[in-house]
Structure 1
Amino acid sequence: MRRILGFAATALVATLALTGCTGGSTPAPEEIADPLPSGLVDQFVDATEHAIAASGAPGAIVGVWVPWAGEWKSGVGEHEPDGEKPAMDMTFRAGTITRSMTCDVLYAMDGGAVRIDDSITAYVPSVPQLEDVTLKNLCDSDAGLRSSGDLNWAQILPNPEREWTPREFVSAGLGSRQGTAGAWNDSDTSYFLLGYALENATHTPLSELIRNYVTDPQRLANTQLPGAAPAEPGSKPLPGFYTSSASRQAGCEEPPTEFTTASSSMGYADSGIVSTIDDLGNYTARLARSIGDLEDPPARWADLLPVDAEGDQWIRVAGGDRFYGTMVGQEGSTLGYSTAAYSDINTGVTVAVTLNNSAAGGTIAGALARELAAIAMTAEGSHRPEDAALPWTAEQAHEAVTAAAVCPIP
């Protein structure tokens, strides 16, 4: 009874908190209407076309919002080979931004139906070997759990419409070699297990929890976690594609294979969300405003871990989110789509991109988002902040796209 009452109470508190204010002093993407200068737009288009070629995607949908200067939103390329330009209101599978939303649910429920420091075994007793793993560890992905995706890929690719259960992904991940506890690991197993635990704790589908705690309070009308039944991603789907390894080795001369219809169960709490560019921009900007100051962040993001202990220390993770310097968001892929969305905590500059080919994973989408952000930071305006700067240049991000190319770039 305590947990049921707590569940109801925290749902109300979360709704009031999210709808009562936007946080911060910078306007949200939905409040920015002025167009960005044509010179910047030309650079955005060039960068996007470069990433489209590198990823083998027919096209992309992109949004850039600069609080002191304006916005640019556009489809670039084609929504399918020899098709028309993608429309801005097209829906797509948004990949690992789902991790952030799953953690939103966890922290909104903390102190009610669950506590973040509860052991996973309190909700999933069939994993007694994980008694020392907390729900927070799963959200931070530092429990030492390996990813299940590579293990299941041989079954996912030829069977995109198969309806999976979370237990199948969890079992695959737990059955593989374990990583190092306390260090970040890119583990879908962690989020499948976390989503499964939240459902067990509340006897409520994760799709409903995300709707109650995230999409309804934030008025993300075009964002949802679909059911497991095979379907297109949303009511106006952007077609999704994948270029096989054999085709990539042959220079991507053959058209990619379409995977628009699939079961969201392959993504679930890790990468199952369907959304639009506008919704991703607004969600990510709100996320950045909720952090406020990286010098004194809320508890969810207080323990930032490096993505690579030997690599750039300004690339960090915590709370289901990825940080590039002061930009927070996510990047990743799911069958058919590669997506990235980031917002700068200091300035409010926000970028969101989706490429409709998942062959490159999330690497190219992430590098494109960083390139667009670096260009956006150069926008002039009377209210341009003095700290409008990033620890990388547009040229460096452009080179990262080239380095990650899976198809020849003209």
Structure 2
Amino acid sequence: MGSRAGGLKRTIALLLSAALALGLAACTGAGAAPQAPAQAGGSLPADVTKQLQAAVTDAMTRAGASGTIVGVWAPWSGSWTAGLGSASKDNGAARMSTDMSFRIASNTKSMTCTVLLALVDRGQVGLDDAVSKYLPRMVGLNGVTLRQLCQNTSGIADYEPSLATQFVTNPTRQWVPMELVSDGLAEPATGNAGDQFAYSNTGFVLLGMALQAATGRSWSDLYHEYVWGPLGLKHTSLPDSGALSLPSPHPDGYASALDASGQPICGTVLNDTRLSPSIGWTAGGVVSTLDDLKTYVQALAAGTLISASSSTAQWRTVPLSGSAPTWQGYGLGVVTLGPMRGHDGEIPGFISAMLTEPKSGLTIVVMLNNSTVGGGFAQLLGMQLASIASKAPAASGSTAPVIALPWSAEQAKKGMDENPICPPKGVTPAPRDTSVPVPQSED
């Protein structure tokens, strides 16, 4: 899902330096990428897995999570997948395992936009069609296009800030898409259509409504035909709004209660495992697993599900803000972080991130089962793991690639250490270095 209520913006807090900045053009995008190299058999070297596990364990503590599911794949060296911690905070709870299902939240957005581009490839819709073409009775659209909904440049406000407290405290309430859209449209616009990036779950729900109207098909069918089926994703689904339970096996998901203004009540942790996917729908309702997300994000980055021209359009990015470094950008439902591609997500109970560098095949998927710290925290953890794994030595017969990441593991960790949201007992957030810019998370 998206931004926290009450103005609590989640940030990617990194120490930026000119020596590390790649200066990647945030408005051009690289287009379709080659298929990832074949994965080397065996595990990553012990010293690398030790660093990875230490990073994840520290992040679990800071997030207040009982456990995490994580996968790191470095094709030239090996892989590491793990379920760390326990599946719930209950005494005697089962250990977390890599086959468990979890809510992927805003990672859903990339799937929704991939379906849009697949429909564009087939001539069923136009990327720059006005949304009103498919939703003619909807007021307040002001010429917004399908592309702008996917790129968060529609100017339509996000519904989540005003509804976040309800989502966390009453997660089983079922919402119809029009309720969510109406709430977003009732808020002041964030700008004129096409002017600037402003994250909006409302836009992705509107996109879901528009494409459902254009095709006459359910979103479960659309995802299956254009994303899950071609990739053989057997454990990925968009549950109905009344399907409150996750497929088994699954971990429990937790979140701090929010007050009326959307601020977290840090001493009150709620179990939000049972939740209606309707709070996110095509903006954040999909459920998946570690292995399915790994397969998916690699295909997403390579553009294998859509035409080369559509993939180029998907990865042509806009800046997240005027102060964001040029190596951060947002495409059509996708994020670029230097050479890495993917997304992150937050929904009550779970945060996650999926990142891949398509030339080398370096891929990271991570989930933590406490959403209080926000999806940007999971993205930072993914960035930390990517930095560690990018330096893994080559296995016999392989050659280690040079992956120029514009951040270090230490910088990503510092970003998590500086997170001010509900730090665990005994842990004080590190003071921010105000002499360097703090780019905002896209999610």
Superposition TM-score, scaled by structure 1 size: 0.88
1:76 corresponds to which residue? 84
1:225 corresponds to which residue? 238
Shift of 1:386: 4.1
Q: Is the 8 A contact 1:23 1:286 kept in 2?
A: no
For residues 188-212 of structure 1, the C-alpha deviation after alignment (integer angstroms, 9 at most, x for no partner) is 0110000111111111111211111
Query: How far apart in 2 are the matches of 1:372 and 1:155?
Result: 33
Shift of 1:223: 0.6
Q: Which runs of 5+ in 1 are unaligned?
A: 1-21
Out of 39, 43, 68, the residue aligned to residue 35 of structure 1 is: 43
2:147 corresponds to which residue? 136
2:23 corresponds to which residue? none
Alignment length (residue pairs) = 381
Letter aligned with residue 118 of structure 1: D
Q: Is the 8 A contact 2:168 2:255 kept in 1?
A: no
In the alignment, is residue 54 of structure 1 matched against residue 67 of structure 2? no
Shift of 1:383: 3.2
Q: Is the 8 A contact 2:33 2:359 kept in 1?
A: no
Query: How far apart in 1 are the matches of 2:388 and 2:310?
Result: 27
Query: How far apart in 2 are the matches of 1:68 and 1:151?
Result: 46
Change (3 A) 1:164 1:306: same
1:337 corresponds to which residue? 350
Shift of 1:156: 2.0
2:183 corresponds to which residue? 172
Change (3 A) 1:230 1:144: same
Letter aligned with residue 75 of structure 1: G
SS in 1 for 2:299: helix
For residues 259-297 of structure 1, the C-alpha deviation after alignment (integer angstroms, 9 at most, x for no partner) is 1111100110111010001111111111122289xxx99
1:215 corresponds to which residue? 228
SS in 1 for 2:140: helix
Letter aligned with residue 81 of structure 2: K
Query: How far apart in 1 are the matches of 2:138 and 2:41?
Result: 50
In the alignment, is residue 119 of structure 1 matched against residue 134 of structure 2? no
2:275 corresponds to which residue? 262
Q: Which runs of 5+ in 2 are unaligned?
A: 1-31, 428-443
1:304 corresponds to which residue? 317
Query: How far apart in 2 are the matches of 1:172 and 1:245?
Result: 19
Query: How far apart in 2 are the matches of 1:403 and 1:326?
Result: 25
SS in 2 for 1:113: coil
Identity of aligned residues (%): 33
In the alignment, is residue 321 of structure 1 matched against residue 331 of structure 2? no
Alignment of 1:371-410 (within 5 A): 371-381=384-394, 383-404=398-419, 406-408=422-424
In the alignment, is residue 355 of structure 1 matched against residue 368 of structure 2? yes
Shift of 1:349: 0.3
Shift of 1:32: 5.0
Letter aligned with residue 133 of structure 1: V
In the alignment, is residue 240 of structure 1 matched against residue 250 of structure 2? no
Out of 20, 23, 26, the residue aligned to residue 36 of structure 2 is: 26
1:202 corresponds to which residue? 215
Query: How far apart in 2 are the matches of 1:301 and 1:92?
Result: 26
1:151 corresponds to which residue? 162
Query: How far apart in 2 are the matches of 1:302 and 1:75?
Result: 31
SS in 2 for 1:86: coil
Q: Is the 8 A contact 1:56 1:243 kept in 2?
A: no
Give me the CA root mean square deviation.
2.2
For residues 112-145 of structure 1, the C-alpha deviation after alignment (integer angstroms, 9 at most, x for no partner) is 3211111100111123432421111111111111
Q: Is the 8 A contact 2:102 2:289 kept in 1?
A: yes
Q: Is the 8 A contact 1:79 1:238 kept in 2?
A: yes
For residues 280-331 of structure 1, the C-alpha deviation after alignment (integer angstroms, 9 at most, x for no partner) is 1111111122289xxx993323531111211212110001001100111111
Out of 91, 96, 100, the residue aligned to residue 90 of structure 1 is: 100
Change (3 A) 1:291 1:391: farther
Query: How far apart in 2 are the matches of 1:104 and 1:76?
Result: 32
Query: How far apart in 1 are the matches of 2:208 and 2:406?
Result: 34
Superposition TM-score, scaled by structure 2 size: 0.81
Q: Is the 8 A contact 2:129 2:146 kept in 1?
A: yes
Letter aligned with residue 342 of structure 2: G
Change (3 A) 1:175 1:26: same
Change (3 A) 1:89 1:267: same
Deviates most, 124-133 or 179-188: 124-133
Q: Is the 8 A contact 2:168 2:258 kept in 1?
A: no
2:432 corresponds to which residue? none
SS in 1 for 2:301: helix
Query: How far apart in 2 are the matches of 1:298 and 1:251?
Result: 42
SS in 2 for 1:242: strand
Query: How far apart in 2 are the matches of 1:66 and 1:360?
Result: 28
Change (3 A) 1:302 1:257: closer
For residues 174-233 of structure 1, the C-alpha deviation after alignment (integer angstroms, 9 at most, x for no partner) is 110111232111110110000111111111111211111111111111111111114222
Shift of 1:27: 3.5
Considering Cα pairs closer than 8 Å and 6+ residues apart, tell me whether 1 or 2 has the greater RCO. Answer: 2
Q: Is the 8 A contact 1:59 1:75 kept in 2?
A: yes
